Amino acid sequence: MSEDKQDSLTLKWGTLKAWSFVSDEAQKVAKDVDTRGLSWSMSAAAQDMTPAHKQAVCDLIDAVNCEEIWNDWTGEKMSKDEAKKYVMEYRS
């Protein structure tokens, strides 16, 4: 991944809240996620996070070109591993 293409990802309620995918890898994975036939709520709080949704978010976390993921609920930054744990364990 090119260092000059910095992505960003914000999570809330165990799902996506905001994102900016500018790296080739993140854009590729985002397009792949779009082909999986998942429905996404306009409200993070209302999102039904099935195992397939959680896996899709984790795939995006792995693909983004950034060191930390923002947790909008706590106001803290998380590592990619912490972010994936947060997604997988939320409402479990």
Q: For the segment 37-80, what is each residue's pLDDT rounded down to a tens digit?
A: 777 766 766 777 889 999 999 999 999 999 999 999 999 999 99
Q: Provide the sign of the torsion angle of the four alpha carbons 13, 16, 17, 23, taken in this order.
A: positive
- Angle between helix 51-63 and helix 80-89 axes, rounded to 10 deg: 170
pLDDT for 37 equals 78
pTM: 0.86
Cα distance between residue 74 and residue 26, in whole Å:
24
Domain boundaries, the chain: 8-37+45-89
CA dihedral 25→68→10→38, nearest 10 degrees, is 40
